[in-house]
Structure formats: structure tokens, C-alpha cells
Chain A
Amino acid sequence: MNTFSDSFSTALSLLLNADAHLYGIVGLSLRVSCIAVLLAAVFALPLGAMLAVSKFPGSRTLTVLINGFMGLPAVVVGLAVYLLLSRAGPLGQLGLLFTPTAMSIAQAVLVFPLIAAITRQIVEDAWLEYTEQLQSLGTSNWQAALTLLWDTRWSLSTVMLAGFGRAIAEVGAVMIVGGNIEGVTRVMTTAIALETSKGDLPLALGLGIVLVVIVLVLNAIAHFIRSWAARGGWK
């Protein structure tokens, strides 16, 4: 038996047969991770930019913390979110456990430090170039942060993609808070884990290949949009 060639033919037939079941799982994966990245970005972009342009009490500590949390294990995040959302937990009333929302929250927590930390770095580099000009014009820190976010938008889109990549490839957290419930919270990675558990390694690896292909296609599209925008000179 050759698992690799089996897997490639499995992946190919999965993609070509347009299996509705598979597409449901793929769709959920994309939705959960997109929402997670947007949710994280809403907080991480302003925070990263503020850390870059202003030094307030505790900003250095916060920067170190955020950089450190980039390596946060997914399982730990999953467990923490699980305990928060569990009926016995502080947010149990919301009844969010084992829902796609819970998975998005867990992934958002996971990618938040990544987006915030790299945003801070990118914005800080731009800030070095802009500082005097913006201060001369009289911009407040908050205005400067927004201006720099806008001016580094193409670099930041790569950060968002990196966050998306980490989110969609993650299995530990979504397994715990989602429960891998068929048709409800089963995403690509938990499906792969399940097929691995069943010992169906070609199918598991085939699903993995499908996941990689999807992420590659998304990145290619993003790259295309970016270079199109750059040709328009907005880079």
C-alpha cells in the first residue's frame, strides 16, 4: 500500500466529485476562520498600531506579553475558552459551547497575539519614517495609528493571511470548544483528526491535501488582488 499516492488520488477525487458533505465542511472551516480573523483584527490592529506609535505606562510589558503569546498552544486556548463557555463557566448562560461561534472565538484568541504583534512591528517601521511629518501636521496618536494602519494595509493583509493560516490549520482548540459534531462543528482539521483516529490514513491525508489546496488558492487570490492594486499604484 502506498499511502501517499492513495492520498493524492483520494484528494483529487474529493475535489473533482464536488462532494456536498466535503464542501459543507470546507465552507464551515472557511467561515469559522474568516470570522475569527476579522474578530481578532478588530482589536489587534488598533492595539498593535497604538503600541507602535505611543509609549504609555505598561506598553512595553504589553508588547512583550503579546510577542510571547504568539506561541500560545492551541489546546490551552481551547481549554480556556471551553471553561469560559461551559455551562458551569462564567459565560455558560450564552449556550455557545459546541457552536461555530465558540470555534471562531477560540481561533480569534489564538491569532490575536500574532496579528497584534506583527502589526505593531510593521506599523512601528512605518512610524519611523512618518513620525516627524505627522507630528508636524499635528496628528494625535490615535490619528497617527489609523493613518499608519491605512498606509501599511498591503503589508497588514499579509498578516491577516498569516492569521487565517494559523486559524484554519489549527485543530486542538476547535476540537475542544466545537466538539467535532458532524454537520455542526466539524471542520477540515477535526475531520482529518477523526479519519486519522479511524485509521483511514489515505482519506485523512487526502483531506489534508484538500485543505492545503484551499489555503494555497486563497493566498494566490490575495496575492493577485494585491499585485493588481499595486499596479494601480496604490501600493
Chain B
Amino acid sequence: MNPAFSSLRRLLLAAAVSAPLAATLSAHAADDFITVSSTTSTEQSGLFNFILPIFSKDSGIKVRVVALGTGQALDMARRGDADVVFVHDKVAEEKFIAEGFGVKRQEVMYNDFILIGPKDDPAKVAGGKDITEALKKIEAAKAQFVSRGDKSGTHAAELRLWKLAGIDLDKAKGPWYKDTGSGMGPALNSAAAMNGYILADRGTWLSFKNRQNLSIVVEGDKRLFNQYGVILVNPAKHPHVKVAAGQKFIDWIVSPAGQRAIAAYKIGDDQLFFPNAEQAAEAKPVARKK
């Protein structure tokens, strides 16, 4: 070895050895955790921040939430990158189970979708109870409409509602229909910026701060029901799935304790999610006010 270059070589060597090492050590320090792939609505509404510390305190298990659209969240679990899925698209969830990726789907809670629109209401839909009527009017008026367009649960619900309204989006799509391909929050930001209508979940809406001229225009239609389910990823497909810890989380969230935690989460006076797991008879759905 030639000492003329030793100082530089030492530096490079030290960096090469220590950098990945330091990072790896910290990554494996806490092994007592599960990874939950979930939706932006549960994360961004603040629900997880509220209920997860309660679970972790009881169980000693940390929950790492990766918030994506429902479609992405299920795909992430398909690749084996999550232990538990917590999403809101029943059709997609049942497909996930049928493919063998999930063990069992359990219903946890619901809230509802709401149609948000600008205060000047160009399509004259405010105050209505019929979501399909409202969508028809928006389409007829060619009023600005912002879609998630990201295969999320909300996007799937929106597409079902257009279909129910008898509108073939492929034909009706025009400059008025903005396919943003983004999460709930960014899509709401877009709608606020362009004074458009948008289908949102109530949880995200209640915690959303940049409302500008937007407000709820249609709510309360039965078809706006938004059910959340929880699924343990099938260890037969992905052997490294943390079955025990994952099941513990699922058992807790459908238990009376978990259901009470969900019901207790409020922004101001508004409850965001309504527990309706089968075991939790006592945590009855609360009647919607307004």
C-alpha cells in the first residue's frame, strides 16, 4: 500500500463501512412492530394518530402505517410488504381474499362520502339528498369536477356512483372532468383551487384545512356509505408476515376497546368514523346529525 494516498483511502473506507452499518443497526433496533398498509383517509384524518398509541400502550406492538390509495395499499400487501391491510373498497377487498392474499376480511367501521362543491354552486345541487341526481346535474352543466383517478377506495366509489347515475364517463368526459391521479388531500387542494365539485370521504374533509370556497353540497344518501375493512395478509403467500402481532391488532380494533377508541375520535364536535365491527354490539352506529 502506498502511504501517499492513505488519508483519502482511510476516509473512503471509513465512509464505506460505517454508513450502511449505522443505517442497518437503527433499522433493526425495534423489531416489535407491524406494518399496516392503509388509506390516506385514515392517516390524514388523524384517526391513526389517535387510536394507535392506545393500542401500542396496551400491547407493546408498534404500528407502522403506510398510507396509500386503497388500490395501491392492496398491491403493496400483494407484494408482501404489509402485515395487515386496512382499507375501504369492499369489492377490491373481496377480490384480494379470493386471490388468496388475505386470510379473512372483517368490517371495522364506516363513515360516508360527501359531495363537496363551491359555494356559488354552478350546477345547483346544494342541499340535495340524491347523489345520482347531483352527478347528473354536474354533468349536464359541465361544471368542474375533480376526480381522484388513483384507484383508491374513494375513486372506486365515485366510478360506481357515475354508473348508478347512468352516465358513461368514457363518453361524457371532457375538460370539466379533471382526472388528477392524486390522494384525497391533493385532490381537495385542486378542487379548492379550481372551485370544482369533488367526492370526498367525511374524515379527510373534516380534518382538511385549505377549504377556501368549498363546502358540503350533498350528504346523507344511503349509497354514500363508506365501509372500512381489515385483513390479515396470508402467511401462506408471504411467510414473513407477522401473524401473531397482526392478528393481535385486528382482534383489538374489532374489540370493544378498539371500537370505543374509534368512536372517541372527534374533530370539534364531529365524529369522523363509526365503529360497526360485528363483535362490538355496544358500540352502536351513532345517528348522523344535521
Query: B90-113 vs A: 1/0 string, CB under 8 Å?
Result: 000000000000000000000000
29 contacts between A and B (CB under 8 A): A35-B23, A39-B19, A45-B12, A87-B238, A87-B240, A88-B81, A89-B79, A98-B66, A100-B27, A101-B20, A101-B23, A104-B19, A104-B23, A143-B5, A146-B8, A147-B5, A150-B7, A179-B64, A180-B67, A182-B49, A194-B185, A197-B183, A197-B185, A197-B186, A199-B192, A199-B208, A200-B209, A200-B210, A201-B209
Question: DSSP class of A's interface residues: helix, strand, loop or mixed?
Answer: helix
User: Given contacts A35-B19, A100-B23, A101-B20, are A198 and B240 in contact (CB under 8 A)?
Assistant: no
Q: Given contact pairs A150-B5, A197-B183, enumerate 6 new A-B contacts (beta carbons under 8 Å).
A: A87-B80, A88-B81, A92-B80, A99-B23, A147-B4, A197-B184
Is there an interface contact between B27 and A99, defined as CB atoms closer than 8 Å? Answer: yes
- The SS class assigned to the B binding surface is helix
Chain B window 231-272, contacts with chain A (Cβ cutoff 8 Å), 1 for yes, 0 for no? 000000010100000000000000000000000000000000
Nearest-Cβ distance from residue B59 to partner chain A, whole angstroms:
17
Enumerate chain B residues within 8 angstroms of A179, measured Cβ to Cβ: 35, 64, 66
B71 to chain A, nearest CB (A): 15
Known contacts being A150-B8, A200-B210, is A101 close to B188, with CB within 8 Å? no
Q: How far is the CA of A97 from the CA of B81 in the complex (A)?
A: 8
Query: What is the distance, in angstroms, from B247's C-beta to the closest C-beta of chain A?
Result: 19
A-B pair count, CB < 8 Å, reads: 107
Contact of A41 with B15 at beta-carbon distance under 8 Å, contacts A101-B23, A181-B65, A201-B209 already known: yes
Contact with B along A64-88 (1 / 0, CB 8 A): 0000000000000000000000111
Q: Enumerate chain B residues within 8 angstroms of A41, measured Cβ to Cβ.
A: 12, 15
The CA of A46 and the CA of B8, in the complex, are separated in Å by 11
Selected contact of B9 from candidates A35, A92, A146, CB within 8 Å: A146
- Complex A-B, nearest 6 residue pairs according to Cβ-Cβ distance, in ascending order: A197-B185, A87-B80, A199-B210, A179-B66, A99-B27, A101-B23
Distance of B214 from chain A, by nearest CB (Å) = 10
A147 to B209, CA, bound (A): 56
